[in-house]
C-alpha cells in the first residue's frame, strides 16, 4: 500500500491560521481553534440570554434547562467547596457551559 492511501485521523486536529498575526516576535494568529472557541462562547451566551430574556414565573423549556444547569453547578460547587467556594461560581459556571456547548 502506498502512503497516500492511508487515512490520517490526526489531520482534523491540526491548527491552521485564519488571520496570521505576529506582534513583538510572538505568533498571536487567529486560528481555526480560536474560531470554534468564539463560536462556542457565542452559542452559550445566546442560549443563556434567550432562555432568561422573558423570566416568566412559570418557566418555559429553555428557562427550565438554564435554571437546572445553574442549580446543578451551584449545588455541586457548594457540596465540594462549601460556602467559601461560591465566590468561584461565575468561573465554574462559565467553564461548565463552555465545555457543555463545545462537546
* pLDDT tens, residue order, the chain (103 aa): 556 678 888 888 889 999 999 999 999 999 999 999 999 999 999 999 999 888 778 888 999 999 999 999 999 999 999 999 999 999 999 999 999 999 9
Strands 30-31 and 17-19: antiparallel
pTM for the complete prediction?
0.79
pLDDT at 88: 96
Cα separation, 32 vs 17, in Å, equals 6
User: Which residues neighbour 88 within 8 Å (Cβ) at sequence distance 6 or greater?
Assistant: 77, 81
Amino acid at each position: 500500500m502506498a502512503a497516500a492511501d492511508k487515512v490520517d485521523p490526526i489531520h482534523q486536529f491540526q491548527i491552521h491560521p485564519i488571520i496570521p498575526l505576529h506582534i513583538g516576535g510572538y505568533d498571536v494568529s487567529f486560528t481555526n481553534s480560536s474560531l470554534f472557541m468564539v463560536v462556542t462562547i457565542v452559542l452559550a451566551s445566546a442560549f443563556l440570554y434567550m432562555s432568561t430574556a422573558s423570566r416568566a414565573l412559570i418557566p418555559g423549556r429553555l428557562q427550565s434547562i438554564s435554571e437546572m444547569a445553574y442549580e446543578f453547578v451551584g449545588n455541586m460547587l457548594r457540596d465540594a467547596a462549601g460556602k467559601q467556594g461560591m465566590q468561584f461560581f461565575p468561573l465554574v459556571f462559565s467553564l461548565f457551559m463552555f465545555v457543555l456547548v463545545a462537546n
